[in-house]
């Protein structure tokens, strides 16, 4: 059989059915979850767009990194990695569109960021954030990322097709192209995680968030590559890719799973050894909701527990059924991971924080009033103590409603509105739809040229690959 992939009508039909399922999922979310400007709908669109865009970017990263490192083992799969990037040609612009619609008020996922800009006159300490989240700068840099990803995906796919030629000048230029992308990737990969995901809650930050995202969709990209290699081989393509190559992919999947766990543990432990409120709020808010406690634990079990207990052995990495199941499970596990970061409705977060803040302010004022009353006789400045005591007492009486006349009481801070986040049939359908789009663009790109680069300088090295160790 020829090694140029035939994108058949039957496969296209199946992928269109998957896209149709995604549309159905969107309709279900619109009908059943209209709360908070359909934030559950937009959370789905954001999480899936970001997730699959990250997988595509990682495909380009693998090619660029191995090219610079004079790697040979990946040569037989180089065009599979390159074709993963096809989704980034639309993914970046979809992310920019989601951001623009949020700023325009179509949804409220980014209300935190926009409220900081609006309130900058009374929040001088947020000056840096005001500049960072200014509309032109914010949207402009996301659009810049999208343009760069589009250009590199197109250029690298076309350029590496030329490495079929044995001309050493062409291969030398490929190093320069790979180096340029590594620089772009290093900056934009971290920055997009801040701009699109961390900015959902501007009160929280993590100093290793970019690395964490890199590890998460890196695992998903290795898993996706394994599944696609197994699928292509089942259809008679890429016959020279054997269990040794899949074994290497399995080792990368296992290694990145451990890297992800290290990053997860570091972020989680910050709430104890760092004790910085801005870095702990993420976990505090989520562990207050039983649903998120469940999904956080589920994500950890899948993404760490399964690789450690099932993928660590040599036999598991060379068994297509076992490694295929593991790859599919880890793709879902890292989707759940991004669910935990994205599916917290902004209004729910905002009201929860405001309620806690108001309660804390009132409590502190009452405590201060009690201390001032008890200790005013011992104060060095009696008149100042009386003045402070009277002022605080007046403010407390005004806020908590302890009025002598009528005995009225101020209403307690409203409890946060219900969080409607969840992984249900709507989420699974939308995920299926995005997967259908991702695979359609992948196979369309793959069918444009032979899967195996026949004249690549490292092709013979790749064909002779033998993995000796686990």
| Residues 6 or more apart whose Cβ sits within 8 Å of residue 319 | none
Q: What is the pLDDT of residue 155?
A: 93
Q: What is the pLDDT of residue 398?
A: 52
Alpha-carbon span 353 to 351, nearest angstrom: 5
Written as tens digits, the pLDDT of the chain (470 aa) is 458 899 999 999 999 999 999 999 999 999 998 877 788 899 999 999 999 999 999 999 999 999 999 888 889 999 999 999 999 999 999 999 999 999 998 888 887 777 666 665 544 555 677 788 888 999 999 999 999 999 999 999 998 876 665 677 777 888 899 999 999 999 999 999 999 998 888 777 788 899 999 999 999 999 999 999 999 999 999 889 999 999 999 999 999 999 999 999 988 887 777 777 777 777 877 887 778 889 999 999 999 999 999 999 999 999 999 999 999 999 999 999 999 888 865 555 454 445 445 544 454 444 444 454 555 444 444 444 444 444 544 554 455 444 444 554 444 434 445 667 788 899 999 999 999 999 999 999 999 988 988 888 888 888 888 888 77
Residue 235 has what DSSP assignment?
T
Cα 285-288-289 angle, rounded to 5 deg: 105
Query: Domain-by-domain residue ranges, the chain?
Result: 9-343+434-463, 346-418
- Phi (first) and psi of residue 432, to 5 degrees: -60, -40
238 Ramachandran zone, left/alpha/beta (phi>0; psi -120 to 50): left
Place of tokens 């990737």: 185
For residue 33 the two structure tokens come to 């979850």
Place of tokens 């900056």: 187
Alpha-carbon span 69 to 62, nearest angstrom: 10
Q: Give Cα 248 to chain centroid, integer Å.
A: 25
Place of tokens 């295929």: 324
pTM (two decimals): 0.83
Number of H helices, E strands in the chain: 19, 0
DSSP secondary structure string, 258-297? Answer: HHHHHHHHHHHHHHHHT--HHHHHHHHHHHTSHHHHHHHH
Residue 309 has what DSSP assignment?
I
For residue 16 the two structure tokens come to 């269109």
Q: Give Cα 104 to chain centroid, integer Å.
A: 23
- Cβ atoms of 164 and 455 within 8 Å: the answer is yes
Which residue, among 417, 273, 250, 247, has the nearest Cα to 348 in the 3D structure? 417
């Amino acid at each position: 059989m020829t090694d140029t992939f035939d994108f058949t009508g039957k496969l296209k039909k199946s992928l269109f059915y998957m896209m149709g399922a995604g549309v159905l999922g969107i309709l279900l979310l619109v009908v059943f979850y209209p709360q908070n400007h359909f934030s559950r709908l937009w959370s789905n669109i954001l999480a899936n767009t970001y997730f699959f865009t990250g997988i595509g970017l990682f495909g380009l990263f693998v090619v660029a990194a191995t090219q610079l490192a004079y790697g040979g083992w990946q040569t037989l799969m180089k065009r599979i990695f390159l074709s993963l990037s096809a989704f980034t040609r639309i993914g970046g612009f979809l992310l920019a569109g989601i951001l623009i619609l949020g700023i325009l008020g179509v949804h409220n996922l980014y209300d935190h960021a926009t409220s900081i800009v609006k309130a900058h006159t009374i929040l001088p300490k947020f000056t840096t954030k005001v500049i960072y989240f200014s509309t032109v700068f914010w949207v402009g840099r996301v659009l810049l990322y999208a343009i760069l990803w589009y250009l590199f995906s197109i250029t690298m796919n076309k350029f590496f097709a030329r490495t079929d030629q044995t001309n050493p000048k062409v291969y030398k230029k490929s190093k320069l192209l790979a180096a340029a992308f590594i620089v772009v990737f290093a900056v934009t990969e971290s920055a997009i995680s801040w701009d699109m995901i961390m900015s959902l809650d501007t009160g929280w930050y993590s100093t290793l968030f970019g690395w964490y995202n890199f590890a998460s969709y890196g695992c998903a990209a290795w898993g996706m590559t394994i599944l696609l290699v197994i699928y292509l081989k089942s259809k008679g393509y890429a016959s020279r890719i054997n269990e040794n190559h899949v074994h290497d992919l399995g080792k990368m999947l296992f290694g990145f799973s451990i890297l992800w766990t290290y990053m997860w543990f570091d972020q989680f432990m910050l709430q104890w050894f760092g004790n910085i409120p801005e870095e702990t709020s993420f976990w505090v808010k989520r562990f207050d909701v039983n649903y998120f406690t469940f999904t956080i634990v589920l994500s950890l079990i899948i993404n760490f527990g399964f690789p450690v207990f099932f993928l660590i052995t040599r036999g598991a990495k060379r068994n297509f059924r076992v490694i295929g199941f593991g790859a599919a499970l880890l793709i879902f596990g890292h989707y759940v991971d991004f669910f935990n970061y994205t599916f917290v409705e902004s209004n729910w977060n905002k009201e929860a924080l405001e309620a806690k803040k108001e309660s804390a302010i009132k409590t502190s004022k009452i405590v201060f009033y009690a201390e001032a009353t008890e200790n005013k006789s011992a104060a060095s400045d009696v008149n100042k103590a009386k003045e402070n005591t009277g002022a605080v007492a007046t403010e407390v009486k005004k806020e908590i409603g302890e009025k002598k006349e009528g005995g009225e009481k101020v209403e307690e801070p409203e409890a946060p509105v219900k969080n409607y986040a969840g992984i249900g049939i709507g989420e699974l359908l939308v995920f299926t739809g995005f997967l259908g789009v991702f695979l359609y663009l992948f196979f369309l790109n793959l069918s444009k040229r032979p899967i195996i680069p026949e004249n690549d300088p490292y092709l013979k090295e790749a064909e002779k690959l033998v993995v000796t160790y686990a």
